[in-house]
Amino acid sequence: MAMNMILLGPPGAGKGTQSKRLEDTYSITQLSTGDMLRAEVKSGSELGKQAKAIMEAGGLVSDDIIIGMISNRVDQDDCKQGFILDGFPRTVPQAEALDSMLSDKSLKLDHVIELTVDDEAMVERICGRYTCSKCGQGYHDKFQKPAKDGVCDKCGSTEFIRRADDNEETVRNRLSAYHEQTAPIANYYGDKGILKKVDGMADIDVVTSSLKDIIG
């Protein structure tokens, strides 16, 4: 049966790291609005041009753009088994739009899980993060090194990239945007009785186990 869920949490909380693991375990698809926007920026599309400066400053791209992007993506075949929303919704209007979008498509949310973390630790996590440029596997200078230095565990590539917005100044702006615009959606889902919380400061494997305990 299809399973749809949201992973909530500030920049660096581990949404991307955990979504990739849950994708493999439950055969569901990670839908990261950040990854979608970065693909638009890379392609040089009109949408990408609009989003680039906002992302590099650590602000939020407009709700209309994001909602349209997700609605199209959810209709694709690889979401039939279910999806994990990573980085969406990020504002109350996005959460409300998601509700009506799911109801129009006769879909529902099975889980909303918040990764709770300390802001200061997020700066270190994000500034040390990098990914394989070929397969997208994520790593960290200190917390998640490849088994062989400079070689991707997953695909063997030796090329890695760091995100343009992963510097301290932008991370602090992203954390402010989170507290001002995104944190209220935890109450939105709390009021609906669907929100669960997991300690995102635990080791990566421990966080994965806690998520699986909730999901079943």
Residues making contact with ligand AP5 (CB under 6 A): 9, 11-17, 32-34, 37, 54-55, 58-61, 66, 87-88, 90, 94, 125-126, 129, 138, 140, 143-144, 174, 200, 203-204, 207
Measured from the CB atom, is 55 or 84 closer to ligand AP5?
55
- Least distance to ligand AP5 from the beta carbon of 191, Å? 20
Choose between 2 and 121: whose C-beta lies nearer to ligand AP5: 121
- Within 10 A of 214 (CB to CB), how many other CB atoms are there? 12
125 is catalytic: no
Minimum separation from the CB atom of position 51 to ligand AP5 (A) = 7
User: What is the torsion angle, in degrees rounded to the nearest 10, for the CA atoms of residue 143, residue 147, residue 151 and residue 156?
Assistant: -120
Catalytic residue among 38, 52, 73, 90: 90
User: What is the C-alpha to C-alpha distance for residues 23 and 15, in angstroms, rounded to an integer?
Assistant: 12
* Of 47 and 60, CB closest to ligand AP5: 60
Q: Which residue in this structure is represented by tokens 């990020």?
A: 90
Shortest distance, position 190 Cβ to ligand AP5, whole Å: 19
**What's the closest the beta carbon of residue 32 comes to ligand AP5, in angstroms?**
6
Q: Catalytic site residue 15? A: yes
CA distance 29 to 87: 14
Beta-sheet pairing, 160-161 with 195-199: unpaired
**162 flagged as catalytic:** no
Q: Catalytic residue among 20, 21, 134, 163, which?
A: 163
Q: Which two tokens stand for residue 160?
A: 């890695």
Q: Where are the beta strands (DSSP E) in the chain?
A: 3-8, 29-32, 82-86, 111-116, 129-132, 138-140, 160-161, 195-199
- Is the bond leading into 11 cis (omega within 30 degrees of zero)? no
| CB of 59 or CB of 190, closer to ligand AP5 | 59
Cα distances from 16 to residues 6, 33, 70, 96, in angstroms, run 12, 11, 16, 23
Smallest separation, CB 108 to ligand AP5 (Å): 20
By beta carbon distance, the residue nearest ligand AP5 is 34
Helix (H) or strand (E) holding 53: helix 46-57
Does 73 qualify as catalytic in the annotation? no
Give whichever of 3 and 122 is closer to ligand AP5, judged by the CB atom.
Answer: 122
Q: Establish whether 129 is a catalytic residue.
A: yes
* Residues marked as catalytic: 15, 90, 129, 163, 174
